[in-house]
Structure 1
């Protein structure tokens, strides 16, 4: 990826780059998660967020992800991305398979590159719902009741009087309950090395709360901090240079961040089930505010902020003094 010409390998940082020449390789598997495969896996696969039971180990280095929608948006997205300049910032895609009347996509198991990693799932964008989901202006009491259950002070006087709200009003309320609306990302789940996953993070929204979680995640290691910031810069450059990303709205996509005790680091974009091609003639920046019809999603706005949050983490000097000079990544 080499956005600034540095050779990341010399700093022991895993970049997630694979030389993907020729056609995609399809693995000849008839069922996921055989006992022999599971016993020999380097890592036990961990699902941080999303539908329970939506993933299963497949081959030694792949997983199956269940398709919940009738369309095959995610399959089409991955197939296009494998031919795009941004293919190195997403898991490698192998195929779509039908198994027991259900459909799955088979993709690279990113954990194969790490030993007991710390993992973070970050939902990106200022909008995590499709425009088609909120175009209906029907007033709904059930959504009003959900809002009140989460925050009794949220409804306006008019909403209290009529005891109903639109779906758009509810969805935007939910976005403001987390850091999504203000910063363009929210931390969905976190798993520190050797610990159980935590997914009760969706209402984390303040700068102080975010800094606290990210500081915990990098565990006061400057080399991890600098490597992740460098990788996030590369991901951003790939998005800005990508024909795919600049012609699609990115709704519900996540950034998956990992590092382990050997200071291998990786950042990838995952989850493309709500990714849609925008209409001809409609330009998208992924940074401008959204209004109905412009398809802006705030993905790059969120990525800019996430990168800044990581950059702003203060490392305790008593630990960094023990690091070797070769472990420090030069400023880009």
Structure 2
């Protein structure tokens, strides 16, 4: 699939400029389009204002980097064996001198859903971001602001650390380093979204959050486990995923009150092709130069956490288990 960039600077507006504004991002989502949606559009994580409704079933995601990694990733994925575990990609758009990708709005499949964003992998930084060995006082200050006891005696003496040291410290502040995933944000039906979950770290804390998310629905638990296992199998057998490092990618997990469930892999702005002479498992520990990211290591652990949820007072779902497995 070749890249297609659509220029929208000269498109004649059909509504006033204020009607194009959604989530503080200029985008062609008119009030009429938004009123025809089943849900109020929700952004759980990512850059504030980085997404906006585009059409009845699509959203625009803003491109913040100069490269077009995410566009290229989606174009390749649309021809990959794992294309059904990611949102449908439509096009790249240039609008008001900014670039966006237009992708499937996954919310369209649900009615007032519970939503969870899970950042995957044992690291969320590129190797190129941490190769500089310069000692930085600003990162030392950020470290002690989070944990005054974290610096070593040598670091306290120099009052400076490298970026790699800081990034690995941040990964250990969450469940990323130990379990290969962290819960970024959560939205329970009828409640406001919660995004202050990055320091959910222990087994007990993770289990409590996932149990609250499933809310004693065994059919939801079983459906999510089936979909997570399917994603693992698709990734393991995907030419795309087994030839790229996945940095900063997430799983978007959703289900609604009628029992529809879905899980997708999202966020590919830091997804890079590795050298064809190298192999990547997505499970081995990372060492500088091996490009391992821990995505499948984290997925293995996430599946185990969901498996360990004990259903206490099972809620009666309004659909059968077989009906709840229809969404990707």
1:60 corresponds, among 56, 59, 64, to 56
Structure 2 counterpart of 1:319: 314
Q: Does 1:115 align with 2:97?
A: no
Instruction: Tell me what 1:40 maps to.
Output: 36
* Alignment counterpart, residue 188 of structure 1, candidates 172, 184, 191: 184
**Alpha-carbon displacement from aligned partner over 1:85-127 (angstroms, at most 9, x marks no partner):** 0100000000000001100000000000000000000000001
Q: Per the alignment, do residues 27 and 97 of structure 1 end up closer, same or farther by CA in structure 2, a change over 3 Å counting?
A: closer
Residue from 203, 209, 218 that aligns with 1:207: 203
CA distance in 2, matches of 1:294, 1:183: 19
Q: Do the aligned residues in 2 keep the contact of 1:222 with 1:328 (CA within 8 Å)?
A: no
Length, aligned pairs only = 306
2:22 counterpart residue number:
none
CA RMSD, Structure 1 to Structure 2 (Å): 2.1
Q: Deviation of residue 280 (structure 1)?
A: 2.0
**1:110-168 deviations in whole A, cap 9, x for unaligned?**
00000000000000000100000000001111111100000000000111011111000
Q: Post-superposition shift, 1:327?
A: 3.1
Structure 1 match to 2:158: 162
* Distance (whole Å) between structure 2 residues aligned to residue 23 and residue 168 of structure 1: 36
What residue is the counterpart of 2:14 in the other structure? Answer: none
Kept after mapping to 2: 8 A contact 1:226/1:328: no
* Deviation (angstroms), 1:319: 2.7
Q: Which residue in the other structure is 1:12 paired with?
A: none
Structure 1 distance, partners of 2:226, 2:55, is: 31
Q: CA deviation at 1:177?
A: 0.1
Residue matched to 1:150: 146
Residues 1:296 and 2:292 aligned together: yes
Distance 1:89 1:105, change over 3 A: same
8 Å contact kept, 2:259–2:318: no
- Over 3 Å counting, the alpha-carbon distance change for 1:224 and 1:24 in structure 2 is farther
Q: Does 1:177 align with 2:173?
A: yes
Per the TM alignment, residue 328 of structure 1 is displaced from its structure 2 partner at its CA by: 7.7
Pairing of 1:1-332 with structure 2 (within 5 A): 30=11, 31-316=27-312, 318-319=313-314, 327=321
Structure 1 residue aligned with 2:21: none
Cα drift, residue 313 of structure 1: 0.2
Q: Is the 8 Å Cα contact of residues 32 and 64 (structure 1) preserved in structure 2? A: no
Rounded to whole Å, the distance in 2 between the matches of 1:108 and 1:132 is: 31
Structure 2 distance, partners of 1:105, 1:313, is 37
In the alignment, structure 2 segments of 5+ residues that lack a partner are 12-26, 324-328
- By percentage of residues, which structure has more strand? 2
Residue of structure 2 in register with 1:16 after alignment = none
Cα distance change of structure 1 residues 137 and 24 upon mapping to structure 2, 3 Å threshold = closer
Q: What is the deviation of 1:191?
A: 0.4
The 2-side partners of 1:124 and 1:36 are apart by 36
C-alpha distance in 1 between matches for 2:194 and 2:54: 25
